Chains A and B, each alone.
Chain A
Amino acid sequence: MSTPVQPSAADGLPGQRTTSDVQLPVDLRRVILAVPGVTEVFPSRPLWQRLPARAAALITSDEPQDQDLPLVEKRSDGGPTEVSVRIGVSAGKSGAPGLSGVPGTPGTLGTPDVARAVAAAVRNHFSPEQVVARVSVVRIAGDFLTGG
């Protein structure tokens, strides 16, 4: 199990729980969003979502909202830092630019691949420090649903 670096900040912004040798989660968020197939970074906790109209604004917004920052936790037993990330993934067109957009069509980046790529990006971001990545896909959105 793990506990927040600053337990007293449990009700505050998860993103503020950082240690001196850990990059700011706001940078991490940018790194995660840069992984192909990732459409959203969700707040670590509590889990919530806006209705679709607002969700679209979140995706396109350049400025991360405070609660959207990934959670960086340090294990209480002195083990490696754990980084928890909750993401939304595209099932369709925007998942892999330039590739076929039909779901299930070869060429679309699969969700497990996206999750693994995010884990790798997290590890790379904190390198050389060893971290453990916890990646949870909480939304797989199909662009093919409404056609825009």
Chain B
Amino acid sequence: MTDPLVPDRLDLVPDALLVSRAADGDTAAFETLARRYGPLMRACARRLTGSYADADDVVQEALVQAWKQLDTLREPGAVKSWLLRLTGSRSIDFLRRRRNHAGFGDIDEVSGKGDVGSPEAGPEAKAVQGSSIESLKAALARLPEEQRRCWVLKEFNGQSYDQIAQTLNISTASVRGRLARARITLVREMEEWR
């Protein structure tokens, strides 16, 4: 084959064209989009839900919603941020369902199940590791859940204040406040370990 676009022709195609095809009913184009942005969706969902198993459920839900609503996407080239927005919404829905199901508290969410960081680890222990990432992880895990969600939706999912407000069903002013408090706490904790 001398065709430069074969064999993985769709992998080389820009987002907007894949969106057009998928909106026309082409599942192969949609699958290409899913493979292209699935890892990012998974990373964001994992930060919000605390585990890959839950993240994968969320990604699947977000993809089903994306397929259904593709024709509502005004700017086909903006599909990446749109997918991340859907991932954020489905993650928050998932956390709400889990809370209702669990009946009390969100212990799992706060401690973040292992890889999100251990709240018990003291500043000294973390400082040894030296990395700002490690201290950020630990500080994130200690953040109140509602602040953490705001921060992740902003910094990971790339959502605007208005979009976060919609996702969390709170006012834009509350988003501003929670995000600022999250950042202040994170900055303070990270500076302590410098």
Q: Could you tell me which A residues sit within 8 Å of B by CB distance?
A: 49-52, 55, 146-147
> How close is B4's CB to chain A, nearest CB, in angstroms?
15
Q: Chain A interface secondary structure, helix, strand, loop or mixed?
A: mixed
Cβ-closest chain B residue relative to A139: B25
**B65 CB-CB contact with A under 8 Å:** no
**B132 CB-CB contact with A under 8 Å:** no
Contact of A52 among B1, B6, B7, B31 (CB under 8 A): B31
Q: Could you tell me which B residues sit within 8 Å of A by CB distance?
A: 1, 6-7, 27-28, 30-31
Of the A-B pairs whose beta carbons lie under 8 Å apart in the complex, a sample of 14, sorted by A's number, is: A49-B27, A50-B27, A51-B27, A51-B28, A51-B30, A51-B31, A52-B27, A52-B28, A52-B31, A55-B27, A146-B6, A146-B7, A147-B1, A147-B6
Q: Chain B interface secondary structure, helix, strand, loop or mixed?
A: helix
A51 to B22, alpha carbons, bound, how many Å?
12
A73 to B190, alpha carbons, bound, how many Å?
68
> How close is B73's CB to chain A, nearest CB, in angstroms?
19
A147 to B3, alpha carbons, bound, how many Å?
12
A51 to B63, alpha carbons, bound, how many Å?
12
Cβ-closest chain B residue relative to A52: B28
A50 to B30, alpha carbons, bound, how many Å?
11
Which of B1, B7, B27, B31 is packed against the most chain A CB atoms within 10 Å?
B27
